[in-house]
Structure 1
């Protein structure tokens, strides 16, 4: 009798074990909804289909840029360890991965980045559009102010910007605040999550320029240009008319000693205005809205005179989907590497597409519209590389030189150029402040500086 009873107990236990093994594992609340985002420009590792009861292989326990493991209670077993991510600490919030399925592409970007690795290469139409735009910027940089004016439709006698004083910047509701501490002042940071440091210190040192801010003994100043003052409830008056603050924000790195200008984060007035409640209408936006003017005016203000020694311009931590797709196509299927990355001469079509991308054209316009103040500078090449950061976001470095007059003048296609400086050249961040709502890029034409929009064949120079 006792033996029979024991046999029944063993049988019931076996049935229970079998049922427990067959039942799907219930994820814990701590793990639900989180995903590990791999470096955007690194090939996605092979992923093994593991059963809920299978332990992940130890070699996949952490990726290269993760901090070293610390003593902690054992984590519950999961089906794929690449799907776990703890939410980052404030004040920064990590949004969806660059190019995720939930991202909104730019208005006419037909090919955007993939959620499972590097972004897809730009479509032919996006590529040709950017190359044509960059080609016209090259034409305008290499000619005189008067000749550049002929590229506009209707033609202009001059393309010189009318915004030449720092008073133009402040009188239109902008405030320039210097960032002297924290992760955002760290050019070497960004290797560990969620540190938003810039990860370009090595590149700056290789260029032979300062890699620290002035407060740390370096030569750089990081300006946080904000349109209005938080919480942006109070506006300003210009020429007797009242305007609301939009909350637009540009972070700009400036090194006047070494001649370096860096676009580090760009949230345009037009983009920020749509997030106000109620939204700010277009006729209430400030005249100072483009990076070409905002970057120039802040650089000149810090230097105290017209800048003549600019050598480098850099777009840092690029998150714009269209620019990302153009970078991917320029790489020709190759991977984006760390510094020095890959270079393209100004005569190449890749250069023109990168210059004509949303994150590149602002630099071209800055040079075109300030010829007499800058000494007729010209961009001779571009380097694309990812920063030394955990997310591996790309950077673009443009190298400047004074035109020597030895190159032949540009060849005209005889057609009106397709050149418009967009109001939005970046996304406020996959790395952004917790209080800001995500703003996705939109391409808009606005203001008297616009070139006529037309589809033209790319002209090789």
Structure 2
């Protein structure tokens, strides 16, 4: 598939996803609604995540009316990290993990670093049975939910969803096409480039693998989140301009 075909396919997927947000036909809801589901399905909480660097988001967070201080330093940002060990032996280096930075007070969810079970199994050449709870959209939602007191507020506040340093090849190619259409070689650091979700570029980003994950989280957790929609999306680099290896990041603005 050429880059143009990939881009057009993403636009069409984005259009379809936007229709789901306004469709009167009920969307099947996720069966995972309790943070305890994480443990029950083999995802174990862990504090051994060494790569968190929320300072990359200090400027975006400031513009959103908050700061990047972590909870152990007196701030409101909480790292929630789970690993999946079942079927991955002790001598295996690559294990599935899900790490999100959550700020329940500001309604911010940041996909900090995630490696799904199927992808980790491919890396280690393992056969792993299909899991019920394996998708980022469910796991990240439960991790975010776990940072609220019980019972949580209804609807659950969620205003901003970040996806940092995206390495999904398909999403990256789609973002390259989006940026090229702006007569630019790159989107630059924050504030980057922002597109209405109803624009062609916004639809293409929504139709990318990363965009679709955000959309399905909102669609399949409506019982807890309410009738939320995506208003716009921002493409930017969360790392310094001088970095040799840069990966794009996304911010989905939820209303």
Question: What are the within-5 Å matches in structure 2 for residues 324-403 of structure 1?
Answer: 324-331=172-179, 332=181, 333-334=183-184, 335-389=186-240, 390=243, 391-401=245-255
Compute the TM-score of the two structures, normalised by the length of structure 1: 0.50
- Number of matched residues? 243
Question: Greater Rg, structure 1 or structure 2?
Answer: 1
- 1:217-228 counterparts in 2 under 5 A? 217-228=74-85
Structure 1 residues 276 and 337: CA distance shift in structure 2, 3 A: closer
Deviates more, 1:391-400 or 1:287-296: 391-400
Unaligned stretches of 5+ residues in structure 1: 1-109, 112-122, 150-158, 189-198, 235-245, 402-461
Residue number in structure 2 paired with 1:268: 116
Query: What's the secondary structure of 1:160's corresponding residue?
Result: coil
TM-score, with structure 2 as normaliser: 0.87
Asked whether 1:294 is paired with 2:139, we answer yes
In the alignment, the residues of structure 2 paired with residue 285 and residue 210 of structure 1 have an alpha-carbon distance, to the nearest angstrom, of 39
* Aligned counterparts, 1:55-454, within 5 A: 110=1, 123-144=3-24, 147-149=25-27, 159-178=28-47, 184-188=51-55, 199-228=56-85, 232-233=88-89, 247-276=95-124, 279-281=126-128, 284-304=129-149, 305=152, 308-331=156-179, 332=181, 333-334=183-184, 335-389=186-240, 390=243, 391-401=245-255
Structure with more contact order per residue of length (Cα contacts < 8 Å, sep ≥ 6): 2
| Paired residue secondary structure (2:133) | coil
Q: CA offset at residue 275 of structure 1?
A: 3.5
Q: What SS class does the counterpart of residue 338 from structure 1 fall into? A: coil
Q: Structure 2: state its 5+ residue gaps.
A: none
- 1:377-415, Cα deviation, whole Å (9 max, x unpaired): 1000001011233233211000011xxxxxxxxxxxxxx
Question: Post-superposition shift, 1:178?
Answer: 4.0
Larger proportion of helix: 2
- Determine which structure has the larger strand proportion and give its number: 2
Deviations along 1:344-393, one digit per CA (max 9) or x if unpaired, are 00210110110111121111000000112101110000010112332332
